[in-house]
Structure 1
Amino acid sequence: MHIAVYLPSLRGGGAERVMVTLANGFAARGHQVDLVLVQAEGPYLAEVVPAVRIVNLNRKRVMASLLPLVRYLRRERPEAMLSALNHANIIAILARRLAGVKTRLVVSERNSLSSLSTGKQGQLFKWLMRTFYTWADGVIAVSRGIAQEMNTQLGLPMHTITSIPNPVDLQAIQQQAQIRPNHPWLGAGQPPVILAVGRLEPQKDYPTLLQAFAKLRESENARLVILGEGSQREPLQAHIARLNLQDSVTMPGFQDNPFAWMAACTVYVMSSRYEGFPNSLVQAMACGVPVVSTNCPTGPAEILEDGKWGELVSVGDADALALAIARMLHTPEAGEKSLQRAGFFSVDAAVDNYLSAMMN
């Protein structure tokens, strides 16, 4: 089967990495795969296997890729197309309609609808999704929570939505996790390191994590590392200074291999206000690390099965977050549970489910 995978770019983000994993997985099954990118750029380009053809539409904005995508569909006529991220999904739906081809189109929603603002732009996006998602042949949600949101907020019937959790390439992650990061905090005999990975944006609620860490430091000699880049770097650095944490918190930026840091840390923490399916949480579990997460919409409660496999705390509760981290610092055996649970999110299972959705 000829499959097109369409998304804006391969700049650093969980959704982009997952789509590369799926494209590689489709190719490994013998399918002809085109990775159709609005702009062929980003660190994950290096992870695309040679069997996957990269098609660069070479546009600066997703909206501007509409006509190039129409031309691609008319020229190549793939049997199926998978798109990701809501703005790209809308363009994919319109392009398939304008191209007049029989390509089966499946769109995937990878973030909680809480990510959309309550203002005019957010309401416009919801209207577009409500109107156009019914034109797709299938809709995939990366968590049951997102499926329920699309049902209640967009009016999409539950039977039209398939929930498929994001895949985790255990073998690849564990291979990369063997590399020890060159950082003095990760040497032998150093205090425990708490790690968070994600874009420096309001969604991740790092101010609450910093408040929790400040409370934790009252009783624990620990350090905090936050990997990622984003618009909130300067405000976060100022917040670190206000809390007098300059000597115990570092933000080294985006890292090509976050798994090495995950394997080297003592506890992994996710403090998000909302997610879709938090890939980094499962990736940390695949590295055998105890995890703490906010019980945000959507994903963490499903991944951790309401606290069976790790600590869940309320969103924005710095006190609860500090206590949960402290408990995990003294429960190293929780890492074995993390690793056990991570095995549920295999690449093979995800590839099977996506192929089924695109073939039906």
Structure 2
Amino acid sequence: MTAPSADLAIFVASLFHGGVGKMRVHLMNEFARRGVKVDLLLAERDSPYMDRLDPAIRVVDMPTSNALTGVPFLAAYLFRRRPRVLLAQRLRVNALALRARAIARVPTRVFVTANTHMTTEIEALKPAKRPHHLALLRDYFPRDDGIISVSNGVAEDLAGLLGWPWPTPRIQVAPNPVVSPELYAMAAEPLDHPWLAPGEPPVVLGVGRLEPQKDFPTLLRAFARVRRERPCRLVILGEGKLRGELQDLAAELGVSDNLAMPGFVANPYQWMARASLFVLSSLWEGSPNGLTEALAVGVPLVATDCPSGPFEILEGGRWGPLVPMSDPDALAAAMLATLAQPPAAADLRQAAQRYTLENSASRYLEIMGLGR
């Protein structure tokens, strides 16, 4: 039998532009640093993080991630390279990986990551699309050699969807690789903005795609209520299809002059380190990286108690208030209270150490049987 020429193949459609892509690169680079031979299978090289990949990582260009042409290509790759483990990201990619392994008839073990609260994500889809997503989940996840979840909440929800008892050894939890030396170095980079000058009102920060999941309308409404009590400004970093609606809502609420939406920012940590408050207003998550990043740099936080992740990251509200979703009054009250009496930054930074890159990489490798 041919010996494996790669320890680990990581199959993703794209690295993307946001926090998910950044975390993937951090994790892969740490694997490579530890001597794991990594192949990265990509259908699209459209990410600004491509140039941050460790040179030891071998990039394999997939012709496509659709089943018609993707499965034969992947099967040929598996037969030729015979990686010990293939780590698949998301539902469709996982289905392709399992089909390809069956064709190649290789002993490669396939693991899939669970990055979000699946019940809520499926409910947010158009009704016609829900059966297909459930089928991908229920038909293929049981065939995987293991499932790696980003949080206990995601894992428990997934077990319920699959009809498995919880806890189950078939789903293991690994923290996201959020806290790294790079994060602190980027947070320390200078940032010149008039709102950050001494004596200016406090800056409230939100970070994320301008999509329904992040529920920035609730943050805007809460911000307008906070401004009735004290001066402050709001910065939302991220891009998406709801930009126009959010700008219209800001005008309706009379807060346009105190709102900045600079779009996607490659280094959000500069803002996090200088903001007076970080707010996560999401309707659902998995383990929100932005919240953990803000915790790591020591900025006070407020978050919705959405499924799932914030409750675990903030340890039930120990490190910042948790409020009901879609409740501007509750969110505004928590924002005012935290601005008036912020927690100690050193305590917040210490609480984030569970999410170091080293801890995450060690846990992933342990689960996949590639311990280094």
Same fold per superposition (TM over 0.5): yes
**Counterparts in 2 of 1:141 and 1:62: CA distance versus 1, 3 Å:** farther
Q: Which amino acid aligns with 2:252?
A: R
Check conservation: 2:65, 2:93, Cα contact below 8 A.
no
**Counterparts in 2 of 1:30 and 1:118: CA distance versus 1, 3 Å:** same
**Counterparts in 2 of 1:19 and 1:64: CA distance versus 1, 3 Å:** farther
User: Does the alignment pair 1:210 with 2:216?
Assistant: no
Provide the C-alpha distance between the structure 2 equivalents of 1:47 and 1:62, rounded to a whole number of angstroms.
29
**Counterparts in 2 of 1:314 and 1:67: CA distance versus 1, 3 Å:** same
Structure 1 segments unaligned to the other structure (5+ residues): none
1:354 alignment counterpart: 364
Matches within 5 A, 1:87-106: 87-106=92-111
Check conservation: 2:237, 2:264, Cα contact below 8 A.
yes
**Counterparts in 2 of 1:313 and 1:172: CA distance versus 1, 3 Å:** same
Structure 1 residue matching 2:311: 3-state secondary structure:
helix
Overall identity of the aligned pairs, in %: 41
2:26 alignment counterpart: 21
Q: TM-score, normalised by structure 1?
A: 0.96
Matches within 5 A, 1:204-283: 204-283=214-293
Moved over 4 A (4+): 60-64
Residues 107-145 of structure 1 show CA distances to partners (whole Å, capped at 9, x for unaligned) of 001011111126131222112211111111101111111
Check conservation: 1:134, 1:156, Cα contact below 8 A.
no
User: Does the alignment pair 1:297 with 2:297?
Assistant: no
Structure 1 residue matching 2:228: 3-state secondary structure:
coil
CA apart distance, 1:85: 1.9
Match of 1:309 among 319, 342, 349: 319
User: Does the alignment pair 1:55 with 2:57?
Assistant: no
Provide the C-alpha distance between the structure 1 equivalents of 2:73 and 2:246, rounded to a whole number of angstroms.
40
Check conservation: 1:180, 1:261, Cα contact below 8 A.
no
Check conservation: 2:186, 2:267, Cα contact below 8 A.
yes
Worse-superposed segment, 332-341 or 20-29: 332-341
Provide the C-alpha distance between the structure 2 equivalents of 1:200 and 1:333, rounded to a whole number of angstroms.
28
Check conservation: 1:7, 1:84, Cα contact below 8 A.
yes
Structure 2 segments unaligned to the other structure (5+ residues): 1-5
Structure 1 residue matching 2:315: 3-state secondary structure:
coil
CA apart distance, 1:295: 0.2
Q: Which amino acid aligns with 2:86?
A: M
Q: Aligned pairs, how many?
A: 360
2:121 alignment counterpart: 115
Check conservation: 1:85, 1:108, Cα contact below 8 A.
yes
Worse-superposed segment, 283-292 or 50-59: 50-59
CA apart distance, 1:88: 1.9
Worse-superposed segment, 116-125 or 145-154: 116-125
2:143 alignment counterpart: 135
Residues 81-115 of structure 1 show CA distances to partners (whole Å, capped at 9, x for unaligned) of 11112222222222222222111111001011111
**Counterparts in 2 of 1:29 and 1:90: CA distance versus 1, 3 Å:** same
Worse-superposed segment, 54-63 or 7-16: 54-63
Q: Which amino acid aligns with 1:12?
A: H
Match of 2:74 among 69, 76, 85: 69
1:284 alignment counterpart: 294
Q: Which amino acid aligns with 1:25?
A: E
Provide the C-alpha distance between the structure 2 equivalents of 1:134 and 1:247, rounded to a whole number of angstroms.
52
CA apart distance, 1:270: 0.3
Check conservation: 2:63, 2:69, Cα contact below 8 A.
no
Worse-superposed segment, 348-357 or 182-191: 182-191
CA apart distance, 1:68: 2.3
Q: What is the Cα-based RMSD across aligned positions, in Å?
A: 1.7
Check conservation: 1:227, 1:252, Cα contact below 8 A.
yes
Q: Which amino acid aligns with 2:204?
A: I
Q: Which amino acid aligns with 1:275?
A: E
Structure 2 residue matching 1:41: 3-state secondary structure:
coil
2:88 alignment counterpart: 83
Check conservation: 1:8, 1:62, Cα contact below 8 A.
no
Residues 207-230 of structure 1 show CA distances to partners (whole Å, capped at 9, x for unaligned) of 000000000000111000000111
**Counterparts in 2 of 1:16 and 1:66: CA distance versus 1, 3 Å:** farther
